[in-house]
Amino acid sequence: MVELREKVALLTDIHANEEALEAIIKDIKYRGIKYIFSLGDLVGLGPSPKECINLAIENNIINILGNNDYYNLLPPSTYSHLQDKNSESYQNLLWTKQQLTKKQIAYLRSMPPSVDLKLNNNLIALCHFPSDSRYFPRAVWTYEIEGPNIFLKTNTKYDEKYNLDPQNKGVISSNLNPIFEGKTVNKYDAVIYGHYHFQESYLKKDGYPTNFHSLNAAGVAIEDKTFYYILEPNKKNGYVIRRLSIPYDKDKLYHKLDSMEYPKKSTFEEYIMKF
């Protein structure tokens, strides 16, 4: 558990967008914020996986593993949508992994599935998604229908992993190193996550078992800017989350994309509005 009494920076879903990450880090440093947490998908889809890992290391970012990070660690057969070796998703995985050094792969392997943060006596969980993407990578589609009620199954006897082969590599990984250290979501004052790419909140005052906060994707924001968040103590509510929207060098990113070819580039270009 990380115990803090000061504001921290949160970002998520960089997706190998070096230019967005550079702008975020610069703004965080300007504001004098010491602690930076990235909530997963540092790599995958975008053109600069090794550069983003290097930036994370150089700036002491505390990274949490997302599904696109796991793709470089677990066999593709773990994920149904990666089993077609002719698919763009599978080819993007291969390409991403080929860009990374053994040291960078080891760095991904060192990332935890979640982080417990104690802030102003509030126990807050940071994760990529409260339904573990190691064995439930398509949970985001269920989430769009059912909302955060699907998270209530995590680490209970109703968990989706019990419907899978116990020899599934994602299930084995989750059993060895469980998300939330094996706790259920109602043990927290708040759960903050990415993966969904859009900002929304479901709160205790509206009948939910805890406060759930989904954050905007930083690297594939379908807008002209990138985003990160400041989480800080608040006497009235215990904590407050503020979103910051900042410009980044899209011309540099567009030039980089024009000078290279790689699998699923067109999907990334759509996400960043490169028309």
For the chain, where are the alpha helices, taking DSSP H only?
Answer: 18-30, 49-58, 67-70, 88-99, 102-110, 139-146, 169-176, 250-258, 265-271
* CA dihedral (76, 62, 117, 19) positive or negative: negative
pLDDT single digits (tens) 57-102: 999 999 999 999 999 998 887 887 788 888 999 999 999 999 999 9
Instruction: Kindly give, in sequence order, each residue whose CB lies less than 8 Å from that of residue 219, ignoring residues fewer than 6 positions away.
Output: 13, 14, 15, 16, 17, 20, 21, 41, 46, 226
Q: Domains of the chain by range and CATH?
A: 2-271 (3.60.21.10)
Identify which of 41, 76, 47 has the alpha carbon closest to the alpha carbon of residue 257.
47
pLDDT given for residue 77 in this prediction = 79
pLDDT given for residue 275 in this prediction = 58
- Over the chain (275 residues), what is each successive 10-residue block's mean pLDDT? 88 98 98 97 98 98 96 84 85 95 96 95 96 86 90 95 91 95 97 96 94 97 92 88 97 97 96 80
Model confidence pTM above 0.75: yes
- The angle, 0 to 180 degrees and rounded to 10, between the axes of the packed helices 18-30 and 250-258 is 160
A 10 A CB-CB count for 21 gives 28
Amino acid residing at 135:
Y
